[in-house]
Structures are given as structure tokens and as C-alpha cells.
Structure 1
């Protein structure tokens, strides 16, 4: 009997927990990202150079867009993003700087943008091949 009660309680808690995580109604006015591009290839680079790319976007939603942070798992890149809310219809830029020193070979970097937008978390990608010797033009 004790085992039956324990099983029933466990299943009940599981069912209530699953119900609590059911998706809510999407806000039709929520901010939305619209990027001009989400991937950029620098081509071939010489080791030791620092390069930047600017990803431009527009808030196509009806509420202000707030970017909390940009994340990746590498100290080889840095990010800049607007700290002020991007109003509906306005544009902004996310600047990603890549440092090639000590990193020869092919390189691909994905930066995730955390925000209050309802659209999927944007993935911004950088690609290059870093040569450890001078590149002939």
C-alpha cells in the first residue's frame, strides 16, 4: 500500500510539473530580431591580426528590444552590443572582434544573443582560415 501511495504521488507531481511548463500564449507585440546577415567569412587571414565584423539588425516587433548579453565559449573573441533598448522599427549593431594570435588553422565561431525577443535566440557565425605564415596576394 505504501508503495502504491508513493507511486501515485510521484506520478501526480510529474503531471503537475509537466502542466506548469506548458507553453504560454505568444505576445504578438513582442520585440523581434531581423538581421541583414547572420554569418560572415573573413577568408584567409595571417596569424596575429585582429578583425571585426558588424552584424546589423532591426527590431521588427512592437515593443523595445533589450539585449542582455552575447555568449560564446572562447576568449579569442569579444562582443559589443547596444546597452540601451532598441525601439520598434529602429536598428542596432552587434560587433564581434576576433583575435587570431596563437590560433592558426580553420576557425568557426558561433555567438548566441540573449534578449527579450520572441524569435529564436540569434546565432551569429564567423568563419576564417588563419595561416601561420605570410599570405601571398
Structure 2
């Protein structure tokens, strides 16, 4: 019986001793990983880039527009008008536009699909179709890019004149 007790005690000590060594070595590995000599990098997660990160906000591309809003003035009903917004990448890394969208289907933006290098210019063409619209109209175009913040907005506005053909000629009273 003493031999049986001594054997169980020995097995128990060996099992707990191995677990302690295993936990100690795992803890040391974790400490080593967290105290590595690699310097910390200030990174920002960028939802516009898949599996990539942008190094520091200071290096992010910057979209600088020549104008943020364009006024077409008075236009005739049913007119389709176009305007080109120009911008410059004043940041330190290539600017990538992932999407440009308008507040309705009557406004269609077209943007460069290739990266815009630092210091280079790009263009966003905006077409507005006034069919079915009247009076004062404003539309916002939202541009999603790898900039900080990730969205930029430009706008167009116009005044659609009354449709004289639909209302007939005006009579003096």
C-alpha cells in the first residue's frame, strides 16, 4: 500500500511539474514577443485597402480640390449638363479612389480608376440630367478614397427654369 501511495505521489508530482514548466515557457515566449526590439509603428486601419494598413496619417494622400462646389446657374428643363472637378494629391502617398456616388441617379460621377501619384492632378467628371426636375436643385457627390478621413464631398447646384412649353405662353393681364 505504501508503494502504491508513493507511486501515485510521484506521478502527480511529475504531471504538475511538467504543466508548470509548460506554462512558464509559454509565458516567457509571450514576454519575449512583447518585448521584441522591433520599433512600434503608428498604423491606421484603412477600410479602402484590402489587407493593408497606411503608415501614419502624415503619409496619407490628401485630396485638394480647386473648387468644392459648382453652380450651373439657370438651365432649361431637360438639359444635361457636365462639369469637371480637378483635384491634386497633396499628400505623400498614391491616392486611390474606390468609389464616387451621388445623392440620386440623375447625377453621375466618373473618377480616375488608376492611383494618382503625390503631386499629380486628377479629374472627377460630373453629369447632371435635369429631366423631371424643377426649381433650385443641389446634389452632393461623395468620394471614397484612401485619404484621412476616407470620404470627401463636392457639390453641384442649379436652377431649372420653368417649362414654358408645358405651361403655355404667359399672358399679360
* TM-score interval for Structure 1 and Structure 2 normalised by the shorter chain: 0.7 to 0.9
Measured in 1, the distance between the counterparts of 2:135 and 2:56 equals: 43
The structure 2 residue matched to 1:57, chosen from 77, 87, 91, is 87
Higher helix residue share: 2
Match of 1:99 in 2: 129
Structure 1 stretches of 4+ with a deviation exceeding 6 A read none
Retained in 2: the 8 A contact 1:30–1:118? yes
Measured in 1, the distance between the counterparts of 2:141 and 2:60 equals: 22
Backbone CA RMSD of aligned residues: 1.8
Please report how far the alpha carbon of residue 94 of structure 1 lies from its aligned counterpart in structure 2 after TM superposition: 0.5
TM-score w.r.t. the length of structure 1 is 0.76
Question: What are the superposed Cα offsets for residues 52-93 of structure 1, whole Å, 9 maximum, x if unpaired?
Answer: 111100001111000011122301111100000000000000
Aligned residues: 112
Structure 2 residues without counterparts, runs of 5 or longer? 1-42, 45-54, 165-173
Matches within 5 A, 1:117-132: 117-119=147-149, 121-132=151-162
Structure 1 residues without counterparts, runs of 5 or longer? 1-22
Select the structure of larger CA radius of gyration: 2
Match of 1:48 in 2: 78
